Amino acid sequence: MFKFIEHWATVDIFNFEKVSPKLKIYPHILFAGKSNVGKSSLINALCRKKIAFTSKTPGRTRFLYFYMIDKKWLLVDSPGFGYTHNPEDRKRFKKLMDLYFNSNFNIKQIFLLVDVRFIDDPLNVEAYSWFKSLKLPIHLITTKSDKLRKDKLRFTEELIKDIFPYTEYTFTSTKKSMGISELIKKIKNTVY
Ligand code: GDP
């Protein structure tokens, strides 16, 4: 469980340089995934607090949200990718993420969230390759794992090993509270 959770910053391409110094002090854990993957549900379950908002919230694709946890690390909630086909918004998303990745932040972990039913979605594979090329430590999280039967989950596990080789993974479901305490442990081992 995490004790102290406070909003630390909301960042877009316009205030990035100004806010950046205060983001350098603490290690980051970044949550990324396609829009509607269940990212805000998972963040809220981990924090036991409603801090993150669904990618359906207007404007949600433009910002990086930072939360200070236990005065030790920053939880980074990134815009869901693939939400918009508007070229301007896509450019802006890419620009924001490039700024973020080129700022020498201490990114301890990227949690890449993928819907358990659509592991091999091209956008997931693209994001994985992108993060890999940046040499960032990726941990795969399947969301909505309650939506598959046990035997299908085993098949999915094989698929994960195929598509995302040598990558740690955790099956989660916020509906069934599955994988939540494992993730908290994993985060604590990484940053505490
Ligand atoms: P975000 O857009 O990635 O932040 O996704 P949300 O957290 O808003 O979730 C998108 C939809 O998926 C919502 O309708 C949630 O209720 C649903 N959802 C999220 N997590 C789970 C889960 O673990 N199981 C199931 N069955 N549905 C989920």
Q: What is the pLDDT of residues 59-85, one digit of tens each?
A: 677 899 999 999 999 999 999 888 677
The protein residue whose alpha carbon is closest to atom 2 in ligand 1 is: 36
Fold of 5-191: Rossmann fold (3.40.50)
Query: Which protein residues touch ligand 1 with a CB less than 6 Å away?
Result: 35-41, 54-55, 80, 143-144, 146-147, 173-175
- Mutational test site, ligand 1, from 34, 35, 41, max ligand atoms within 8 Å of CB: 41
The protein residue whose alpha carbon is closest to atom 6 in ligand 1 is: 38
Q: Summarize pLDDT for 133-172 with one digit per residue, the tens.
A: 999 999 999 999 999 999 999 999 999 999 999 999 999 9
Q: At how many degrees (to 10) do helices 39-47 and 180-191 cross?
A: 70
- Residue 172's contacts (CB-CB under 8 Å, 6 or more residues apart) are 42, 141, 142, 143, 145, 178, 179, 180, 183
- pLDDT of res. 182: 97
Residue given tokens 């916020």 in the structure block:
174
Distance 143 CA to ligand 1 centre (A): 8
The protein residue whose alpha carbon is closest to atom 28 in ligand 1 is: 144
For residue 1, name the pLDDT band (cuts at 50, 70, 90). confident
pTM of the model: 0.96
Sheet of 138-143: strands edge to edge?
A: 5-11, 64-69, 73-77, 28-33, 107-115, 138-143, 168-171
Contact 29, 111 (CB under 8 A): yes
For residue 54, name the pLDDT band (cuts at 50, 70, 90). confident
Distance 176 CA to ligand 1 centre (A): 12
Distance 17 CA to ligand 1 centre (A): 32
- pLDDT of res. 119: 96
How far apart, in whole angstroms, are the C-alpha atoms of residue 143 and residue 126?
A: 18
Distance 175 CA to ligand 1 centre (A): 9
The protein residue whose alpha carbon is closest to atom 13 in ligand 1 is: 38
Q: Summarize pLDDT for 2-31 with one digit per residue, the tens.
A: 999 999 999 999 999 999 999 999 999 999
How far apart, in whole angstroms, are the C-alpha atoms of residue 126 and residue 136?
A: 14
Q: What is the CA radius of gyration of the chain?
A: 16
